[in-house]
């Protein structure tokens, strides 16, 4: 549609006027915007556009705004909330995609935009490039750090499995666990492919992690995230950020068993252990019960042997040392010989001593004859009689029979002078027939008379002594 040109001969005036022969009616901005919108939508009702995402933004309403660009141009795009729920991946800047939708205009900004109804990654190459970027980003955050890896429990009592409830994967896991070491298994059913799979897997992992020990639902000691093999597109849910972060944040040790041996997902790097297959994950999870019983039996046998081994070694050492010991007779022979020598020396010593004592006795016996003994007794008697006469002559009480008196003080000391007697208050007078106590005052004090027997000159030697 085109309007006839304005006449060149008439300059523009101050007030707009209808030109002669001009049948074009002036349109409002809304009218012209509406015409453009209809033309664009009629001409480009359904298009597929390949480009790189730029300026990705998710609004609070759930709508997604972005631009698709190449090296020469840029196209604004929008995806409504209802459509975003069907996305199988998380869009981000730099990802090359193919968007399908309709082209329209947005009169509010006088631009055109693509309303995306379907968006896919532009080939496996672009998907692999996105995978590499996400892996590098998560590694930089430390989500794949080996220091974060935890050891798996040796014999878990409860195992949680996050997988599809239908299919060969769960059957293979349950069968393998039953063969090796039967235990309690909790299955959290999820989608493992397609729209919403990543969110369900992440929710299951976080759900197991949130269980409290001792609650109504037993808390697993180990979690297995499993899926069968497939293409990179089939396994993409396990490369999503929401799954990677859920696995990395889980407080329970996790085994990732996604795909086959050649398949690798970001979930594998975030998990504590990676299993090449779901069956291998079950083998990692539990030991073989029969082998464990055999190992325990072998350890018990080794324990018994270890206990008995010192005793056996002791017996062997004792036997070896006993063999090196001499015979008992060889040990006793020198001592027996020495005993015999000492016994002989003792016998000879006793005999010699007896002979010596006999000679001494014979020599002494010669001086023990009766005449010699009588002579010695007579001589001793003579000396004894002389001593008795000397005693009588020196005894102060001997002269008392002739009228003499011996005076002593209270302490029994003989007083030989008047001065000594005057110093005492009482005196003892010793007569031949007894003692008399007197006082040095005017009145004498009488004392009982002590009979006294004095030896007489005509008494024999023995009487004088007694």
Domain termination site, one of 286, 313, 348:
286
Residue 76 lies in domain: 31-121
Residue 408 lies in a domain: yes
Q: Which residue has the higher pLDDT, 452 or 57?
A: 57
| Residue 191 to residues 271, 278, 314, 355, Cα–Cα distance (Å) | 19, 16, 67, 126
Residue 330 lies in a domain: no
pLDDT, tens digit, for every residue of 81-137?
888 878 877 788 888 888 888 888 877 777 788 888 888 887 777 778 888 888 999
Residues 53 and 115 in one domain: yes
Beta-bridge mates of residue 428: 408, 437
- Does an H or E element contain 465, and which? helix 461-465
213 vs 223: CA distance, rounded Å: 15
Assign 163 to helix, strand or coil: strand
pLDDT, tens digit, for every residue of 15-60?
656 665 556 667 777 777 777 777 776 777 788 888 888 888 988 8
Specify the number of domains making up the chain: 3
Strand blocks (E) in 276-420: 406-408
41 vs 114: CA distance, rounded Å: 10
Decide: pTM greater than 0.75: no
By the 8 A CB rule, do 54 and 99 touch? no
56 vs 67: CA distance, rounded Å: 7
pLDDT reading at 397 higher than 80 = no
- Does an H or E element contain 326, and which? none
Residue 309 lies in a domain: no
| Residue 100 to residues 85, 314, 416, Cα–Cα distance (Å) | 15, 88, 166
Residues 95 and 206 in one domain: no
User: What is Dmax (Cα atoms) for the chain?
Assistant: 215
Residues 163 and 280 in one domain: yes
Assign 231 to helix, strand or coil: coil
135 vs 144: CA distance, rounded Å: 9
- Residue among 227, 221, 250 nearest 239 (CA): 227
Structure tokens at 69: 């660009």
Phi, psi of 251 (to 5 degrees): -85, 0
Task: Tell me how far apart the terminal alpha carbons of the chain are, to the nearest angstrom.
Answer: 189
Domain termination site, one of 218, 251, 286:
286
pLDDT, tens digit, for every residue of 157-196?
999 999 999 889 999 999 999 999 999 999 999 999 888 8
Residue 2 lies in a domain: no
Residue 292 lies in a domain: no
Residues 191 and 276 in one domain: yes
The conformational region for residue 123 under phi > 0 = left, psi -120 to 50 = alpha, else beta, is left
Residue 234 lies in a domain: yes
Domain termination site, one of 94, 121, 148:
121
Residues 166 and 281 in one domain: yes
Q: CB-based burial of residue 33 (10 Å sphere; 0-12 exposed, 13-18 middle, 19+ buried)?
A: middle
pLDDT, tens digit, for every residue of 49-97?
888 888 889 888 889 999 998 888 888 889 888 888 788 777 888 888 8
CATH number at residue 36: 2.40.50.140
């Amino acid at each position: 549609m085109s309007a006839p040109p304005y006449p060149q001969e008439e300059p523009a005036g101050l007030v707009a006027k209808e030109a002669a022969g001009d049948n074009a009616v002036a349109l409002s901005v809304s009218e012209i915007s509406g015409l453009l919108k209809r033309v664009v939508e009629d001409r480009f009702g359904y298009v597929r556009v390949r480009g790189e995402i730029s300026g990705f933004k998710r609004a609070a309403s759930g709508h997604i705004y972005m631009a698709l660009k190449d090296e020469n141009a840029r196209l604004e795009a929008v995806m409504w909330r209802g459509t975003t729920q069907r996305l199988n991946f998380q869009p981000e800047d730099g990802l090359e995609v193919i968007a399908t939708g309709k082209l329209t205009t947005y009169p509010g900004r006088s631009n055109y935009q693509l309303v995306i109804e379907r968006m896919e990654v532009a080939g496996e190459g672009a998907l692999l490039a996105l995978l590499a970027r996400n892996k590098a980003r998560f590694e930089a955050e430390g989500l794949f750090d080996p220091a974060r890896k935890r050891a798996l429990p040796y014999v878990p009592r409860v195992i949680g499995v996050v997988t599809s409830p239908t299919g060969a994967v769960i059957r293979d896991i349950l069968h393998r666990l039953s063969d090796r070491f039967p235990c309690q298994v909790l299955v959290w059913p999820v989608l493992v492919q397609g729209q919403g799979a990543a969110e369900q897997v992440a929710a299951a992992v976080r759900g197991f992690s949130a269980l409290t020990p001792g609650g109504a639902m037993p808390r697993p000691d180990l979690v297995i995230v499993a899926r069968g093999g497939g293409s990179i597109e089939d396994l993409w849910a396990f490369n999503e950020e929401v799954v990677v972060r859920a696995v990395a944040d889980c407080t329970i040790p996790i085994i990732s068993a996604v795909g086959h041996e050649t398949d690798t997902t970001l979930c594998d790097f975030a998990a504590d252990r990676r299993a090449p297959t779901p069956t291998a994950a079950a083998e990692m999870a539990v030991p073989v019960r029969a082998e464990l019983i055999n190992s325990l039996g072998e350890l018990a046998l080794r324990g018994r042997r270890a206990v008995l081994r010192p005793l056996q070694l002791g017996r062997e050492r004792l036997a070896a040392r006993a063999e090196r010991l001499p015979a008992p007779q060889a040990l006793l022979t020198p001592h027996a010989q020495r005993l015999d020598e000492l016994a002989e020396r003792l016998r000879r010593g006793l005999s010699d001593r007896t002979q010596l004592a006999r000679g001494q006795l014979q020599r002494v016996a010669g001086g023990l004859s009766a005449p010699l003994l009588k002579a010695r007794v007579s001589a001793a008697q003579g000396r004894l009689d002389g001593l008795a006469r000397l005693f009588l002559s020196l005894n102060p009480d001997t002269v008392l029979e002739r009228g003499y008196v011996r005076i002593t003080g209270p302490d029994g000391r003989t007083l030989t002078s008047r001065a000594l007697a005057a110093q005492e208050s009482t005196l003892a007078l010793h007569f031949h027939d007894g003692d008399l106590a007197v006082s040095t005052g005017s009145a004498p004090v009488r004392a009982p008379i002590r009979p006294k027997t004095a030896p007489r000159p005509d008494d024999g030697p023995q009487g004088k002594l007694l």
